[in-house]
Amino acid sequence: MIGKKRSYLIVLVFLTIAVGLYLNKHLGGEQKLVEIHTREVTPRGNLADFEQTTISIFNAAAPSVVYIFTENAVSGVFGARGLRQGTGSGFLWDRQGHIVTNFHVIEGAQRIQVRLDNGEAVEATYVGGTPDYDLAVIRLRQNISGIQPIPVGKSEELQVGQSVLAIGNPFGLSRTLTTGVISALDRRLPTATGREVVGVIQTDAAINPGNSGGPLIDSSGRLIGINTAIISGSGSSAGIGFAVPVDVVNQVVPQLIAEGKFPRPGIGIMVLDEEIAARLGVVGVVIDRVVPGSSAERAGLEGIDHSNRLLGDIIVGVEGNPIGKMDDFIKNLR
């Protein structure tokens, strides 16, 4: 009996080995065949016209975009001091090496370094800035040949729905391109000083941390704005980004290069949202609040009495020119 069991066991072992060899020969061979057999590549056709246009715009504009690195001294516990590093974007303004970016990108920086399109890192120095417009100018400390300033467009030609491209360095990823459209025009953007930039461009082109200071470009490859802020609960793009309009840039930047500063805009007022004023049937600039110590306060202007729900002063004209909205008012102050 024991002998029979042993014989069955031996036969079972041999059958197992035989099955294993069979599977290895046939299935293993097929596996090897899969590993060495690659699919034939299907030739692609021509790129679509819109793809070719986007590629051309990027290739033309990207050399003008730079990556900005900053170092700020910070105080720690027990008086210890250290360095906080920051990053942002900017673009070449002229052949003298001036670079435009956001004020908040380089604010308080003790060291500024710029990485150019060719990968070269160059030290830069602060020229001037204005937190009222969140704009700043820095300059390369050495002469660089072949600088390619970005072409400049015009704000009044912009239309909701037209295509735009944003180039920058979000999350440290250099030379990143995102595309979208102009979602709205004539937005107002509060700055750190409590002032507002008028005529701001709203776009759905993805703008993330690190894009600040980078250019917003139209389909002709021209600068139409500087990517500045986003509305997002997470801090990442939610499809609502804002850019300081190029007309403001073209007015402020030459003054920063020449004088290092720009005269503070306005007369010291915060105004009611234009959509709310329109719903109230009011034509003109409704003063919501007057900044203490401002020229508006010295002139006796008053804002809204919120406790009694009473409107204050409304600006309807400046030196004979009718004022319908804040943009009209700002233009007449220039």
pLDDT of residue 244: 93
Is 26 one of the annotated active-site residues of the chain?
no
Convert 41-62 to b/e letters by CB count within 10 Å (16 or more is b). eeeeeeeeeeeeebeebbeebe
- Distance of alpha carbon 80 from alpha carbon 251, whole angstroms: 42
pLDDT of residue 9: 66
CB atoms within 10 A of CB 140: 20
Q: Could you tell me the CA-to-CA distances from 7 to 104, 145, 215 in Å, in that order?
A: 86, 89, 84
pLDDT of residue 16: 73
- Distance of alpha carbon 147 from alpha carbon 120, whole angstroms: 12
Give the DSSP per-residue string, 36-84.
H-PPPPPPP-PPPHHHHHHHHHHHHHGGGEEEEEEEEEEE-GGG-EEEE
Is 98 one of the annotated active-site residues of the chain?
no
pLDDT of residue 249: 94
Residue tagged active-site, from 104, 174, 237, 247: 104
Residue tagged active-site, from 134, 218, 247, 327: 134
Is 212 one of the annotated active-site residues of the chain?
yes
Tell me how far apart the 2 most distant CA atoms of the chain are, in Å: 122
pLDDT of residue 320: 81
Displacement of CA 80 from its chain's centroid (Å): 34
Residue tagged active-site, from 212, 218, 313, 327: 212
pLDDT of residue 258: 92
Which residue in 263, 226, 185 sits closest to 93, CA to CA?
A: 226
pLDDT of residue 150: 94
Listed in sequence order, the residues at least 6 apart from 279 whose beta carbon sits closer than 8 Å to its beta carbon are: none
pLDDT of residue 308: 85
Give the DSSP per-residue string, 123-187.
EEEEEEEETTTTEEEEEESS--TT--PPPB--GGG--TT-EEEEEE-GGG--SEEEEEEEEEEEE
pLDDT by residue, tens only, the chain of 334 residues? 555 666 666 666 667 776 666 666 665 555 555 567 788 888 888 989 889 999 999 999 999 999 999 987 666 555 546 567 788 899 999 999 999 999 999 998 889 999 998 888 999 999 999 988 899 999 999 988 888 999 999 988 899 999 999 998 888 787 889 999 999 998 888 777 667 788 899 998 888 888 889 999 999 999 999 998 766 555 555 678 899 999 999 999 999 999 998 876 667 787 887 778 888 888 888 888 888 888 888 888 888 888 888 888 898 888 888 888 776 776 676 5
pLDDT of residue 63: 93
pLDDT of residue 312: 84
- Distance of alpha carbon 285 from alpha carbon 139, whole angstroms: 38
